[in-house]
Amino acid sequence: MEQYEPDRLSPAELAAVRRSFRNGRAAMTRRSLLRASAGGTLTLGGLGALAGCGIPAAGKSQGGVSADDHSAKEKVVNFSNWPEYIDVDDSGKHHPTLDAFRKRTGITVKYTEDINDNDEFFGKIQPQLAAGQDTGRDLIVLTDWLAARMIRLGYVQKLDASNLPHAFANLSDQFRSPDWDPGRAYSYPWQGISTVVAYNKKALDGVEVKSVSDLLDVPALKGRVGLLTEMRDTVGMTMLDMGKDPAKFTDDDYDAVIARLQKAVDKGQIRRFTGNDYTSDLSKGDLAACVAWAGDVVQLQADNPDVGYVVPDSGYMTSTDNMLIPNKARHKTNAERLIDYYYEPEPAAELAAYINYVSPVADVKPYLAKIDKSAADNPLILPDKAMQAKSHAFRSLSSKEETAYQAKFAKLTGA
């Protein structure tokens, strides 16, 4: 069983936290706000508090702990999510899909945007989970690496498939069986996050960019290339370019990627490692090309026709934010009904039209087209089968691997 030891963060892991808050996903201000992706690290604010508490590890490594389910008598779901990660009406006060769910089922969703960072939120609920107490939440949304940790620690409940007919039937193939939750026994994706290669056509000035190799090796791009401070994205994309599988790599594979990236850094090919702040440089043309998050590309293209993207033949990286039911939740069945609701094509389309992330729901395209045809035709929002086939996920890491890999990546980026 993996032990969670908040007082033993390595210097590299602390650097990863600082990167996230300074300019990584933790610096994002739109919808994916404050997603730190350095698994196993803690936010700076939560670090001292948890270290001082001496929080014990969970008592089991698989499976969750149920409570008496009050769903039949208490028509409510307490749902914690990230800011700006759901549809809203023109007033900004109501969520149309949640209102429709209440009208149909009689279940009121008490929706709270109180997840600003994975680790910060984990620090908030972990003492209660470790003590076997109700967190006051029936449904939470966490990024895949933390969802994996929650499952390993036995902090979330196994889902009842009989309450999830739409979710089971409509989940996109590319998200069906992550190594950390085979068959989706404990989780279902809320949305997907894709990493691609983006470029500014005007800044390229005729140079063709089709791969990560082009970013790292084409002399005409020297000093005008950006890579992400998020280790899984930059290393994963480079690993694919080198013909290695991010789901099965070895220590030697990882070291080979770091060596290749270091070579590009040493020769001045890389302008800088960035977080979400690359968007301004890309739009202005200060960066000719970079590794980028697809959600940013969708937004940039709306304002700047010079911004384009390519999905390399070698593939691209995908991660997910996932719905889970924590231990001792009072309204498990109601929460499962809400999960299932978002796998019906109509509400899934409404959600995708508003937030522009990758919908995990298969065959949603005709429903989305009725709302926003441009979104329905955008493979960054609805990947077609060919694009889905190029999707890859970064494998789960042990605590030991996390520490070692982050140390090497921190040295590479100069963090």
- Work out whether the CA dihedral 171, 176, 182, 187 comes out positive or negative: negative
| Prediction pTM value | 0.77
Asked if residues 233 and 248 have their Cβ atoms less than 8 Å apart, the reply is no
**What is the three-class DSSP state of 337?**
helix
> Could you give phi then psi for residue 271, rounded to 5 degrees?
-65, -50
pLDDT per residue rounded down to tens, the chain (415 residues) = 444 444 344 444 444 444 444 334 433 433 333 333 333 333 333 333 333 333 333 334 445 666 689 999 999 999 999 988 999 998 888 899 999 999 999 999 999 999 988 878 999 999 999 999 999 999 999 989 889 989 999 999 999 999 999 999 999 998 999 999 999 999 999 999 999 999 999 999 999 999 999 999 999 999 999 999 888 999 999 999 999 999 999 999 999 999 999 999 999 999 999 877 899 999 999 999 999 989 889 889 988 999 999 999 999 999 999 999 999 999 999 999 999 999 999 999 999 999 888 999 999 999 999 999 999 999 999 998 889 899 999 998 888 998 899 899 999 998 6
Alpha-carbon distance values, 2 to 59, 118, 149, 150 (Å) = 11, 18, 8, 10
Query: Closest by alpha carbon to 204, among 225, 179, 231?
Result: 225
The one-letter amino acid code at 230 reads: E
What whole-number distance in Å separates Cα of residue 319 and Cα of residue 217? Answer: 27
Non-local (6+) Cβ contacts of 144 within 8 A are: 178, 180, 319, 320, 321, 322, 393
What whole-number distance in Å separates Cα of residue 342 and Cα of residue 171? Answer: 10
What whole-number distance in Å separates Cα of residue 335 and Cα of residue 326? Answer: 10
Q: What is the CA radius of gyration of the chain?
A: 21
The one-letter amino acid code at 1 reads: M
Query: Closest by alpha carbon to 339, among 164, 179, 202, 100?
Result: 164
What does the buried/exposed string (b/e) look like for 81-116 if buried means 16 or more CB atoms within 10 Å of the residue's CB? bbeebbbeeeeeeebebbeebbeeeebbbeeeeebe
What does the buried/exposed string (b/e) look like for 189-226 if buried means 16 or more CB atoms within 10 Å of the residue's CB? bbbbbbbbbbbbbebbeebebebbebbbbbeebeebbb
Non-local (6+) Cβ contacts of 358 within 8 A are: 191, 192, 193, 194, 294, 318, 380, 381, 382, 383
Tokens of 112: 């709270």
CA 211 and chain centroid, separation: 23
| 277 CB neighbour count, 10 Å cutoff | 15
The one-letter amino acid code at 36 reads: A
Asked if residues 102 and 109 have their Cβ atoms less than 8 Å apart, the reply is yes
DSSP 8-class letter at 110: E
Provide the pLDDT for residue 64: 63
* Residue 110 β-bridge partners: 78
| 398 CB neighbour count, 10 Å cutoff | 10
Phi-psi region of 365 (alpha: psi -120 to 50; beta: other; left: phi over 0): alpha
Asked if residues 298 and 307 have their Cβ atoms less than 8 Å apart, the reply is no
Provide the pLDDT for residue 54: 34
The secondary structure of 63-105 as a DSSP string is --------TTT--EEEEE--TT-S---TTSS--HHHHHHHHHH
Provide the pLDDT for residue 83: 86
Asked if residues 270 and 264 have their Cβ atoms less than 8 Å apart, the reply is yes
